[in-house]
Structure 1
């Protein structure tokens, strides 16, 4: 099928059928990646105790997360701290924008689940 036809076709992709799954270190979660037309979407599951600097940094090989994330928290809580020390805690039904150069961690004992619409292309992949 040509690219032009793909852009004009309806697409349905069940959440349990990602195009790619990127597991985090120590089984602390995963990023599921979905290709929809020209767009990538991510559904991240972050287990209690997950922290970017412990569970993704070894995969990415960078000092902090270099992706810019835009999306929505569906469940749980996550704190994001910029390299300059500023931080925000996000919770259910919060839309978010997280610029590059940050660390992040799950708050509390509940899994954090989110949808990311901008930062998935290189997230949790070797830099």
Structure 2
């Protein structure tokens, strides 16, 4: 690897987290951005399993669903379902939770200066 080409596997992460319900997320830092992958168990909810763990409100979030689905709720109360092969961007103040009884596997993306749980 050189300074111009960075190749990393998000599942062999630089950083990893386990949430209160056992769901997991890992991420790799690239030069200017990060790519994360999360496996969220049925019953996982951002406000319950991340917000309570970090004490922080949700921020802007960009992602792509590989399998399963999420229900997302915007700060103004609008709910949407996002499922396999769909990309999404959520504004700050959102909540999200696994839809149904199958895990949701999702990628997330962002700038390194904001990469923290």
TM-score, normalised by the number of residues in structure 2: 0.87
Dislocated runs of 4+, deviation >2 Å = none
Cross-structure match for 2:100: 108
Cross-structure match for 2:35: 41
Distance 2:21 2:11 in 1: 22
State the 1:38 CA deviation.
1.9
TM-score, normalised by the number of residues in structure 1: 0.81
Distance 1:24 1:89 in 2: 22
Secondary structure of the equivalent of 2:53?
helix
Cross-structure match for 1:92: 84
> Which has more radius of gyration?
1
Distance 1:45 1:71 in 2: 13
- Of the candidates 16, 19, 36, which is equivalent to residue 21 of structure 1? 16
Q: CA RMSD in A?
A: 1.7
Distance 2:116 2:10 in 1: 20
State the 1:21 CA deviation.
0.4
Cross-structure match for 2:55: 61
The number of residues matched between the two structures is 114
1:68/1:118 contact within 8 Å kept: no
Give ranges in structure 1 of 5+ residues lacking alignment. none
Secondary structure of the equivalent of 2:7?
coil
Secondary structure of the equivalent of 1:25?
coil
For residues 14-50 of structure 1, what are the alpha-carbon distances to aligned partners after superposition, in whole Å with 9 as ceiling and x for unaligned?
A: 34310010111131x1220111122111111111110
2:42/2:103 contact within 8 Å kept: yes
